[in-house]
A and B are shown apart, each in its own frame.
Chain A
Amino acid sequence: MSDATSLIFGRLGWDALPFWSMLHDHSPMTVINGVIATGAAGMVVLGALAAIVLVTWLGKWKYLWSEWLTSPDHKKIGIMFIVIALVMLSRAIIEAVLMRVQQTFGLDGGFLTAEHFGELFTTHGTIMIFFMAMPFLTGIINYVMPLQIGARDLSFPVMNQVSLGLTAAGAALVMISLVLAPFSTGGWTGYPPFTELAYNPGAGVDYWLWAVTLSTLSSTLTGINFAVTIFKKRAPGMKLFRMPLFTWTALCTAILMIFGMPPLTVATGLLALDRYLDFHMFTTDLGGNMMNYVNLLWAFGHPEVYILILPPFGIFSEIFATFSGKRIYGYRILVIATMCIAVLSFTVWLHHFFTMGQSAHINAAFGIATMLIGIPTGVKVYDWMLTMYRGRIRLSVPMVYAIGFIMLFVLGGMTGIILATPSVDYQVHNSLFLIAHFHNMLIPGLLFGMLSATNFWFPKATGFRLEERWGYRAAFCWIIGFMLTFFPLYVLGLMGMPRRSVAYFEPQYLPWMITAGIGAMVILCALLCLLMQLWVSIRDRHANNVFAGDPWDGRTLEWAVSAPPPEYNFPVLPEIYSIDAFMTEKDRGQGWQAPDHYVDIEMPANSTMGVIIGITGLAMAFGLVWYMWWLVIGAGLVTLVAVIARGFVRSTTRTIPAHEVQRSHEHWLEQVRRTNPIDRSLEQTTANHGRPVPPIEGAVQ
């Protein structure tokens, strides 16, 4: 390569194209893997082109720019986070299915190369944690939390845009790695020395490194934003102990983000120094110490687990209360349990590397700390069951997910207690038993929580309900598919099959592998059902309209406004007198009221900061991956100038005049009056337009 090209393109060459090796080497294995990789790359390119063509054809670029990309509105940013999460979820599920299929045929071989399989489990893990789970829960909290505490927006709306931009940049980088391959094969944990330059000189690890770094920065900023919002922006009278449980879990998650992300920043930062500036932090020579990487990674990794699981705990608390028609049982205990889990989550990270070689007493200490977490979690499970006890339970779609969660999650928790015993862990660590365990926590816990939240709050965000029949089908496919896929992995783990194996030579594994493969197909069906549900719901949106805003007889403040809510959320900030603020209002017959007078509302003005930082972040990361230094320096300078220039901007707000607020609020109240109140038994029919009958005596408690 000439000097000029290498100055411009760094180390990026033709061989980065996924079909390149296939053109030179015609062995069947290379061709099969090349076709799969090219197909995936083609899907990325076609998907991007299709999106561009669609927006152009609809003539919506201006709308997309001014109403979405530059909007500081927490609701729109939340939705965009969720869109990213769903796109990435689809990709990661397809990868998971591919891995399951490989292992189904994996006795003595299979059709994927070890390299390709390594990329699959690395991207699957990285995407599911950093680009599915994190954006999904960030999106849901973004949308719901300010509404629940009676705020107009987050404390730092522009910083919220920047968080979105950084996450989008990270996700885009992972997508680009399909087209300009390869991605890392080091697993989502990226342990050195395997990921050091000496053993992995290619671009793969760098893709992983910078994608994760972008996501980490985004999450740190998000955590700060959420925590400050909850501390400083609650409506008058909303004391901490009157906050809905979902907001409580959002607060604890935010605190975990603030304090849990730095260890990952340190770990990946030092690994980057090793790879780029020839440092010796984690190398095998010259005094490097890779054990510290493992230590730092998990000092992040365990709080991360609870960042992922606490919001679903909050979501299920809301759902159990709403669909049992009862106040949540043991509100205070649930809050205390959440806080206990949050603090304890910082004290257990060593259980991820019991077998690294430290003394037994250290293992014992961390093992005991791990088992302690079972106590507050158990308290929560009992509280949820007692919430349902003697409630008028409606088995809606969110409730099906919730019940699936409670049963499967307890099972997963049990296996967690088993794994927390160091002596047992020595037997099953790094085996499929572990894979089964954490999928058993994350699918019924996190993913069911997110899907349940989507079904629950979708009508609030869009103004129409999600269709239920496809919803039930998706939920049952998820539950059955999960059990079929992962219960066999427990057995396989106990039989001794290691994780991340491309192939195996033990015929006894085969029946279990086939079962797991069938389960993966059922999960694929679940994904299709979700898409179908979305399509059917959009088709029937007029019949399922819930503009009045309260389709589930909700208890908390977000149901007290129209669906979708106005940009400013509340025409006048509400006064709060109790927990379950909206239910109390309805109980007293004081819901849906017009304020005495309206005032001008000041809202944050649109800003391009999020888009700029997202693009420059992506450019910097891409430049770093391929050693295009001009791109890194250029994008860095643009970032610096943009941030400084932003400091000079003074017109950061715009005012919504009082008469406009009055007009839209009174229009909504008029619609509410015209809406026919329905009984809860009719809530899944087209009669439900978002206004429930007043609660019967005693049902509020």
Chain B
Amino acid sequence: MSRRTLNEQEARECKTEQRNYLWGFGLALVLTLIPFGLVAFIDIERMTLWITIGGCALAQVIVHLRFFMHITLAKNKREDLLLILFTVLILVIMCGGTLWILFDLYQRMLPGMMP
């Protein structure tokens, strides 16, 4: 079997998409190496470290969504961006609520469970 002959536009699209995946991979790689490098080699204040790790993770999630899952802010008829935002809302409510409730309970009744 032979390669499908792509017309000019398809060929251009193919190039663009390949470049997109490479970009995504590169960015994700950088955003992975930074936190691992910090933990492995550099001794900085804990809070700064945690914020950096969290920030890199968040950025990498967005990179994955954008370049691998093709979720964009572009206007179209799809419901998936809306769905992600709703899911994030529910996640924030449920996880945030869980942490709020349980750590308050620990503080009042189980100080031993505070990390």
Contact = CB atoms under 8 A, between A and B. Distances in A.
A357 B102 CA distance: 10
Given A231-B79, A357-B108, A362 B101 contact: yes
Nearest to B87: A259
A350 interface: yes
A277 interface: no
Contact of B97 (A291, A343, A350): A350
B41 interface: no
A347 interface: yes
Contact of B94 (A289, A299, A343): A299
Contact of B108 (A263, A343, A349, A359): A359
Interface in B65-94: 79, 86-87, 89-90, 93-94
Contacts, number: 43
A362 B98 contact: no
B15 to A, nearest CB: 32
Contacts of A289: 102, 110, 113
Contacts of B102: 289, 291-292, 295
B105 A346 contact: no
A350 B101 contact: yes
Main secondary structure of the interface of B (DSSP, over half): helix
A231 B86 CA distance: 15
B104 A359 contact: yes
Contacts of A358: 101, 104-105, 108
Contacts of A343: 89
B1 to A, nearest CB: 21
A406 to B, nearest CB: 31
B109 interface: yes
Contacts of B98: 292, 295-296, 299
A295 B89 CA distance: 18
Given A231-B79, A357-B109, A359-B108, A346 B90 contact: yes
Nearest to B79: A231
B109 to A, nearest CB: 5
Interface string A328-356: 00000000000000010011011000001
A28 interface: no
A530 B108 CA distance: 52
A59 interface: no
Contact of A295 (B79, B87, B101, B109): B101
Q: State which size class the interface on A falls in.
A: 20 to 34
A481 to B, nearest CB: 38
Contacts of B101: 295, 350, 358, 362
9 contacts: A255-B86, A259-B87, A289-B113, A299-B94, A343-B89, A357-B108, A357-B109, A359-B104, A359-B108
B112 to A, nearest CB: 9
A148 B39 CA distance: 57
Interface in B17-44: none
Nearest to B95: A299
A362 B100 contact: yes
A256 to B, nearest CB: 10
Given A231-B79, A289-B113, A292-B102, A349 B97 contact: yes
Contact of A291 (B90, B93, B94, B105): B105
A287 interface: yes
Contacts of B110: 289
Contacts of A299: 94, 97-98
Contacts of B97: 299, 347, 349-350
A343 B89 CA distance: 10
Contacts of A346: 90, 93-94
A356 B93 contact: no
Given A291-B102, A292-B102, A357-B105, A263 B94 contact: yes
Contacts of A231: 79
Contacts of A259: 86-87, 90
Contacts of A287: 113
B93 A347 contact: yes
A299 B101 CA distance: 12
A227 to B, nearest CB: 9
Contacts of A296: 98
A270 B108 CA distance: 25
Interface string A639-683: 000000000000000000000000000000000000000000000
A343 to B, nearest CB: 8
Contacts of A292: 98, 102
A347 B104 CA distance: 17
